[in-house]
A and B are shown apart, each in its own frame.
Chain A
Amino acid sequence: MSEKPKEIMFAQACNMAMAKAMEDDPKVILMGEDIADEQGGGVFKVTLGLSEKFGTDRVRSTPISEQAIVGAAVGSAMVGYKPVAEIMLMNFITVAMDQIVNHAAKLRFMSGGQTTVPLTIRTTTGAGTGLGGQHSDMLEAWLAHVPGLKVVAASNPADAYGLLYSSIMDPNPVIFIENTPGYFVKGPAPAPDHTVPLGKASVPREGTDITLIGYGSSISRCHAAAEKLAEGGISCEIVDLRTIAPFDEETVLKSVAKTKAAVVVHEAVRNFGVGAEISSRIHEELFSELKAPVGRVGSGYAPVPFSPAIEKAWLFSQDDIEREVHKILG
């Protein structure tokens, strides 16, 4: 008798991953603004129930002090803890960039390997919510550009569960990016022992004509575009990076070597984005085999607008992906 797998939401998957990590390792602690149950279990309820289960020593609500939150995570990570710091919204990471870039990312190197910083910074962001310019930015390219950091973005609940668990257990500092509108997206529930290794992309759809490379919120739109393009006889392969830095070059190149064409898709502003790096790597390795230069789809070169009408125009869309594919395949 086959039973349809139970479905869960993305936010629940993150909650379950943290609960599992805390059960497995007493050194896992959480800190962030409003994350304990008394303060509501997080502004998006992602940590709901965890302080009740594990106590407020391990699930600590903090003042609105991003530098202090990340700093406390760095310090405790250096001496045996596996802290998970929640930075409520990705734009607030800018306030803590010194702690992330100058300290979390570099202390292993600058100490000659004597100290390590196994922390995870969870944060959420994403357009489509009408939160405007200071609550919706995708800043992963900044972070991916810093040696010493891993940057992760899941596209579905099961991956979120497996990737967040791996991030918490990873001996390096990891930035785990959640997608705010995606919190309520449902998907098959993972088995409790499900993990996803960092640094490994997945190929959720196989195809022969072109490779769509994305991560996080772009994957669902890649799937939708691929369905539509299939109606016109174009077969798309999809590569979900899952880990943005360091990215799985092997899987990307293997796929593009097969399809001979590629589009990189991300919600972040197109200019100087992750797509530029991936596109460049593909050109370096496969230039002579490509049917056409690698395409890029990203959002407009502007702050995320508030008005729904402008926000929609700014945000990359399924149509943009289809248009780019047609352009490349002629």
Chain B
Amino acid sequence: MANSDMADKDVLIDIFTRADLIMQSDIKFRQMIGAGQLQIVYYPVRGQEVVSSAMMAAVNKEDYLVTIYRGLHDQLAKGIPSKDLWAEFAGKMAGTCKGKGGPMHITHPETGVMVTTGIVGSGIPIANGLGLASQLDKDGKVTVCCFGDGATNIGAFHEGLNMAQIWKLPVIFLCQNNLYSEHTPMAFATSSDSIKQRGEGLGMRSVQVNGNDASAMYAAAKEAVEYARAGHGPTLIEAMTFRFHGHLLGDTSHYIPKEEMEQAKKDDPMPILRQQLLDLQISEADIAAIEAKNAAIIEEASQFALDTPYPPGDEYRIDVLDVEIAA
């Protein structure tokens, strides 16, 4: 890629800072779960760091995010503080949701993270509602709705995109196409050659981009954000990426051909982005400082997740309705 197409230096540093935090968090989660320190369901995000980091670098804190159970990268990129997030992943009272959501149901309105859902594709209709509120309030916010390629095979995707398009809602549908829905390759379960085609079929502005290329992803994200803020309506971004680990931790990815995995790892977006920073004359020492700072954040957050207490059992009586329910 020619330098002229490269995103601004500061933007790339920003994207790298977010992406490195995600990568290190993912590694740490897998280590701790493997060592038996944490017993939680975990959906690895290694390989998809750049997609969400570039997307979230293009929006504001006040903008909304709806994501899915494989959402650690989206949540960190959007800015949820690591300590709060780690504590919630561990089911602790100090977590974002008092331990009542857990890894698959993260909410943190302070940073715009409104819904994380464990049901594939179901966040799409809800994102429309957030977008509708912004449209009626004229508050200029956009909603980013993240999902994978598998989600485009459920009805809610088609209903949701159709409604967003007819109502011109300020929603960005970010399909992080990692080519596998759980254990099933895209070609096996998806009738179209691309997700972009599906958006086009619904009359929506749709783009396909190499999501692992920070500059290209950022450019696509920024364009979609501007389009939405200008009142033109939604965009479907099909961001091509890859997942280096199984659907959930413990899955060995036996269904992914070895050559495909090897090639994907050669194209690992993280060393590429790091090299791009070096090419832009950002010093090794400056990059190492970012990495060290992230490591310290994660060290503190992971220790906090272990040390901080669980919620009391009768917490289940609170937040069912607006009043405490009877025991």
Contacts and interface: CB of A to CB of B under 8 A. Distances in A.
**B interface residue count range (under 10 / 10 to 19 / 20 to 34 / 35 or more):** 35 or more
B40 interface: no
A67 B321 contact: no
Contacts of A74: 125-126, 129
A74 B132 CA distance: 11
Contacts of A77: 129
A103 B160 CA distance: 15
B126 A75 contact: yes
Contacts of B64: 79
Contacts of B143: 75
A78 B129 contact: yes
A78 B125 CA distance: 13
- The residue among A29, A65, A246 with the most chain B CB atoms within 10 A of its own CB is A65
Contacts of A78: 114-115, 126, 129-130
A40 B192 CA distance: 37
Interface in A204-260: 246
A75 B129 contact: yes
Contact of B129 (A76, A109, A112, A114): A76
Contact of B322 (A57, A98, A116): A116
A5 interface: no
A314 B318 CA distance: 41
B46 interface: no
Nearest to B160: A68
Contacts of B128: 68, 71-72, 75
A147 B107 contact: no
B194 interface: no
Contact of A71 (B97, B126, B162): B126
A71 B100 contact: no
A109 B320 contact: yes
A66 B105 CA distance: 23
A108 interface: yes
Contacts of B130: 75-76, 78-79
Given A68-B128, A112-B96, A112-B97, A107 B320 contact: no
Contact of A72 (B100, B129, B318): B129
B185 interface: no
B309 to A, nearest CB: 15
Contacts of A76: 129-130, 132-133, 136
A68 B125 contact: yes
Interface residues of A, number: 44
A245 to B, nearest CB: 10
A329 B124 CA distance: 55
B122 A102 contact: yes
B131 interface: yes
A109 B319 contact: yes
Interface in A102-133: 102-103, 106-116
B101 interface: yes
Given A29-B136, A71-B129, A79-B114, A65 B162 contact: yes
A29 B166 CA distance: 18
A72 B163 CA distance: 9
B140 interface: no
Top 3 A-B residue pairs of the complex, sorted by shortest distance between their CB atoms: A75-B129, A71-B125, A111-B107
Contacts of A63: 159, 162-163, 166
Given A98-B122, A246-B321, 14 more contacts: A29-B136, A60-B167, A65-B162, A67-B156, A71-B129, A71-B156, A72-B125, A74-B125, A74-B126, A75-B125, A75-B143, A81-B133, A111-B100, A112-B319
Given A81-B133, A107-B115, A108-B319, A68 B163 contact: yes
A59 B324 CA distance: 34
Contacts of A57: 136
Contact of A108 (B114, B122, B134, B320): B320
Interface string A187-201: 000000000000000
Contacts of A114: 96-97, 107-109
Nearest to B129: A75
Given A71-B126, A79-B133, A99-B125, A113 B156 contact: no
A49 to B, nearest CB: 21
Contacts of A69: 125
Contacts of B320: 108-109, 147-148
14 contacts: A57-B136, A67-B155, A69-B125, A75-B114, A75-B127, A76-B129, A78-B126, A78-B129, A80-B137, A112-B98, A112-B100, A147-B325, A150-B321, A172-B322
B117 interface: yes
A92 B96 CA distance: 35
Interface in B99-151: 99-101, 105, 107-109, 114-115, 117-119, 122, 124-134, 136-137, 143
A243 to B, nearest CB: 12
B115 A103 contact: yes
A196 B320 CA distance: 22
A181 interface: no
Contacts of B127: 71, 75
A62 interface: yes
A80 B160 contact: no
A262 interface: no
A99 B101 CA distance: 17
Contacts of A67: 122, 125, 155-156, 159-160
